[in-house]
Structure 1
Amino acid sequence: MDVQDKLAILADAAKYDASCASSGSKTTRAGSDIGSTEGMGICHSYTPDGRCISLLKILLTNFCVYDCQYCVNRISSDTPRARFTVSEVVSLTLDFYKRNYIEGLFLSSGIIQNPDYTMEQLTEVAKVLREEHRYGGYIHLKTIPNANKDLIEEAGRWADRLSVNIELPTENDLVQLAPEKNKPSIVNAMQGISEKIDETCADRKRGFKSPRFAPAGQSTQMIVGATPTPDSQILQTASELYGGQKLRRVYYSAYSPIPHADARLPGQSPPLVREHRLYQADWLLRFYGFKATELVTETDQNLSLEVDPKLAWALANRHCFPVDVNTACREQLLRIPGIGARSVARLLKIRQLQNIRISDLKKLKVAWNRAKYFVLTNDHNPAVKNLDMLDLERKLRPATQQLMLFDAMQSATSGEV
């Protein structure tokens, strides 16, 4: 099989892994000749749903000894198989980069022989690129749970980002659909990476010239909709990973039906809007001070598909509103629907000089159609009297339109939720 045929198979097989956005960090390495970038680092190109498409995203192989029922590459699948050699991946990466097609490499793999052998192969690709070809661009390597600790540390030396996919949010989900995997071993692998990152950062702060270790941190992915697990558990797992393992990102990937699937798996994908809401809720967890338990309730453990999580929380907690934008603290301002983190920062500066009026909020380009029901300003705001309307949620529901992961891409970068 020639390289082009392998590329067709292994690029397609990699599309199910969502955790490939680069970090935006500076990626220039000392002494690098190829792939170095300055300033904001990787030059991204995003699809409308927010995924990065500037990386060469492939599997080393789609052969796999595991039988994860949700995976098209499981050992019992009849999907066409292929395997790159280390030199083929290196050549592809350099060729695509020199043609200005890509800005970096995302490399994952099925498990071949055992976790250690697979991790050795992945690490060798990054090592050859760095040492033999002086490649200074972005590299994201998928880390294999249960691989030897020394191999993972070697991978972190050459890669900008590492990721260990938790795949499913609960141990019971893994027992049912991925019996070769278990949550404790996956979390332990994440913990080892987190501790090594902390150790390296501490050494460098003390002035030691320690080798870099995964400077862009680590990420993971959870598949949504393959099991009945509700959003409350998905968000709780994400929150624990952010707090305990200090992950940079948790990615959510809507389950995609596969041929000859296990009868326990659903016959169709969950609504894309569910994935969309999870990303919005994830943003609230990371940047707005929300807790997972605030975004879902015991009676309804899934996020609303009708309105965004922040608006849903505000409607369920109307006793917290209206908020006076001239006196409220930052934490209160961040909870106002339609006012994002960047707007809050600007608002706090402006109100040191003057009282905030409706016109000022509009100049800040807040989503006034949502915010107007929840705020008090220095001038009269007639909309606030409608805060207790029974049909307020209906009035605030967005008009039916083509769904995008974020209402606008600037939402993803500015935090305007």
Structure 2
Amino acid sequence: MDTMEKLRILTDAAKYDVACTSSGVDRAGVKGQLGSAAACGICHSFASDGRCISLLKVLMSNACAYDCAYCLNRRSNDTPRTTFRPRELADLTISFYRRNYIEGLFLSSAVVGTPDYTCELMLQTLYILRREYRFGGYIHVKAIPGADEALIRELGLLADRMSVNIELPSNDSLKRLAPQKTKESILAPMTRIRDGIRENAHDLVKYRSAPQFVPGGQSTQMIIGATPESDRRILQLTEGLYKKYSLKRVFYSAYIPLVEDRNLPALNTAPPLLREHRLYQADWLLRFYGFTAGEILDDAHPDFNPVLDPKCNWAVNHPEEFPVEVNRAPYEKLLRVPGIGVLSAKRIVRARRETKLDFDGLKRIGVVLKRASYFITCQGKSASRIQTDNPAVLMGILRDRGLPQGGFQPEMPEQLSLFTPTKEDGVKCLTGQL
């Protein structure tokens, strides 16, 4: 099989791995080296279907020794198999970089024989890129659960960011769908990466010089919709992962039925795209808005509202917290108001040091008044005649979003258009404001 045929198969096999984000690393170009890395903006991938590219997103191999029920590359599935040789993939990466096709590499792999052997193949590839070609571009590599700790460390010294897929939201689901993987084998490399990052930071403070270990941090991915866990269970797991492993991001992948199995949804089941979207919104609330998983969802409401985003849903269900007087409320309180995001809350705090804010001023600052107006006052005045404990608030929000008031209909998630976005859509997409 020639290199381009391998590339076609292994980029296609990598498209279901979504744990790919901006690099988080600033590294200027150095004379005698190839490439540089920017902390933001590297978030696209090279794929066989012609999508916009920035990273070469590819598997080392799809010849997997495991038989995970949900995976297209599982051992028992009838699909073409191939494996890159380390130098072959390194040469391909450099060739694409020199043609200005890519800015870096996103490398994952199925388990070829054993986790250690798979890691050795990936390690050889990274070594050729970094040491022989002196490639200074961004590299994100997936750690293989079950691999030796020394191999994980060597990968971390060559990569900018690493990730270990948590795969499924519970140990029971992992045992049922991926019996060759264990919770312990997944969490062990996550622990090692976390500790390595902390040790590296300590050495940098103490000695002002140390080998960089995963400077862009680590992330993970879990599959949503293949198993019966509630949204609350998933969000609790996410919160725990952020606290325990200091992750940069948790990524969610709506399960796409590609293989038939009695333990999985039927092949004609639609991917839970709205659920994935809600999880990303709730994830943003955990990381930037000061919410806890227990506030967003509880025993009485274990799943997301299909009509309202998590922040708006919380506000409607907690009328005792509103209205909020924007000229006096602390920053943390402003963040809880629908339509006021992190940026606009900071602007409010700065602006009110010099003036009393009114609704026109809030609009200029960037507050989305069609949502916020139900929950705020300016100098004691409200822009809405509806009390925050009135069910009409919900109807008003639905009306402003163009949804029918007579009954709830879940919104249909769709990709943001790059050609006809509204200003609000653009801000929400780029900043995650809620």
- 2:19 is equivalent to residue 19 of structure 1: yes
| Structure 2: runs of 5 or more not aligned | 404-410, 417-423
Greater relative contact order: 1 or 2 (C-alpha under 8 angstroms, separation 6 or more)?
1
Aligned residue number for residue 290 of structure 1:
291
Offset of residue 296 of structure 1: 1.0
Equivalents in 2 of 1:52, 1:287: separation in Å? 29
Please give the TM-score of this superposition, normalised by the length of structure 1: 0.94
Does the C-alpha gap of structure 1 residues 41 and 383 become closer, same or farther in structure 2, counting only changes over 3 Å?
A: closer
1:403 counterpart residue number? 413
- Are the counterparts in 1 of residues 29 and 35 from structure 2 also a CA contact under 8 Å? no
- For 2:76 and 2:361, the matched residues in 1 are separated by 61
Q: Is the 8 A contact 2:45 2:57 kept in 1?
A: no
Distance 2:57 2:332 in 1: 39
Aligned: 1:273 with 2:270: no
Q: What is the aligned partner in structure 2 of residue 104 from structure 1?
A: 104
Report SS of the residue matched to 1:62.
coil
8 Å CA contact 2:281–2:432 kept in 1: the answer is no
Moved more, 244-253 or 92-101: 92-101
Contact 1:32 1:136 in 2 (8 A): no
The 1:409–1:230 alpha-carbon spacing in structure 2 relative to 1, beyond 3 Å, is: farther
Distance in 2 separating the partners of 1:32 and 1:254: 43
The aligned length equals 412
Change (3 A) 1:369 1:23: same
User: 1:205, CA displacement in angstroms?
Assistant: 1.1
Match of 2:307 in 1: 306
Q: Residues of 2 paired with 1:379 and 1:98: CA distance?
A: 61
Counterpart check, 1:166 vs 2:166: yes
Give how far 1:25 is off. Answer: 2.4
What is the CA-CA distance between 1:44 and the residue it aligns to? 4.3
Distance in 2 between the 1:278 and 1:175 partners? Answer: 24
**Structure 1 residue 318 corresponds to structure 2 residue 335:** no
Deviations 1:355-392 (A, max 9, x none): 11111110012111000000010263230534233242
Contact 1:108/1:141, CA 8 A, preserved across alignment: yes
In structure 2, the CA distance between the partners of 1:307 and 1:409, relative to structure 1 (3 Å rule), is: same
Distance 2:41 2:358 in 1: 40
- Where do 1:1-400 residues align within 5 Å? 1-28=1-28, 33-37=33-37, 40=39, 42-45=41-44, 53-259=53-259, 261-267=260-266, 268-378=269-379, 380-383=381-384, 385-397=386-398, 398-399=401-402
Cα contact 2:339–2:367 (8 A) shared by 1: yes
Residue 60 of structure 1 deviates from its aligned partner by 0.6
State the shift of 1:413 in Å. 3.7
Are residues 210 and 382 of structure 1, via their aligned partners in 2, closer, same or farther at CA, if it must alter by over 3 Å? closer
CA change 1:408–1:46 in 2 (3 A) is farther
Report the TM-score, using the length of structure 2 for normalisation.
0.90
Letter in 1 for 2:191: Q
Deviation string, structure 1 residues 21-58 (Cα, Å, up to 9, x no partner) = 132421337666211145x45544599xxx99521000
Supply the distance in 2 between the matched residues of 1:277 and 1:28 (Cα, whole angstroms): 37
* Structure 1 unaligned blocks of 5 or more: none
Q: Are the structure 2 counterparts of residues 34 and 306 from structure 1 closer, same or farther at C-alpha, using a change threshold of 3 Å?
A: same
Contact 2:255 2:271 in 1 (8 A): yes
Q: CA deviation at 1:189?
A: 1.4
Aligned equivalents of 2:233, 2:79: Cα separation in 1:
32
Rate the CA distance shift 1:26–1:67 in 2: closer, same or farther, 3 A. same
**Is residue 55–residue 105 contact of structure 2 (8 Å, CA) maintained in 1?**
yes
CA distance in 2, matches of 1:141, 1:202: 23
Letter in 2 for 1:279: Y
**Identity, % of aligned pairs?**
45
Displacement of 1:293 after TM fit? 1.0
Q: CA deviation at 1:20?
A: 1.3
Structure 2 Cα separation of the partners of residues 87 and 115 of structure 1: 20
Task: Give, in whole Å, the separation in 1 of the partners of 2:144 and 2:31.
Answer: 29
Deviates more, 1:298-307 or 1:56-65: 298-307
Look up the equivalent residue of 2:105 and give its one-letter code.
L
Change (3 A) 1:166 1:149: same
8 Å Cα contact 2:334/2:345 also seen in 1 = yes
Cα distance in 2, alignment partners of residues 197 and 412 from structure 1: 30
Paired letter, 2:402? A
The amino acid of 1:258's aligned partner reads L
CA displacement 1:218-259 (0-9 Å, x = unmatched):
000010000011111111111111000000000000001113
1:219/1:250 contact within 8 Å kept: yes
How far did residue 402 of structure 1 move?
6.2
Pair 234,26 (structure 1): closer, same or farther in 2 beyond 3 Å: same
Contact 1:42 1:104 in 2 (8 A): no
- What is the DSSP-based 3-state SS (H/G/I as helix, E as strand, rest coil) of the residue aligned with 1:110? coil
> Quick one: distance in 2 between partners of 1:339 and 1:155?
41
Q: Distance in 1 between matches of 2:18 and 2:339?
A: 28
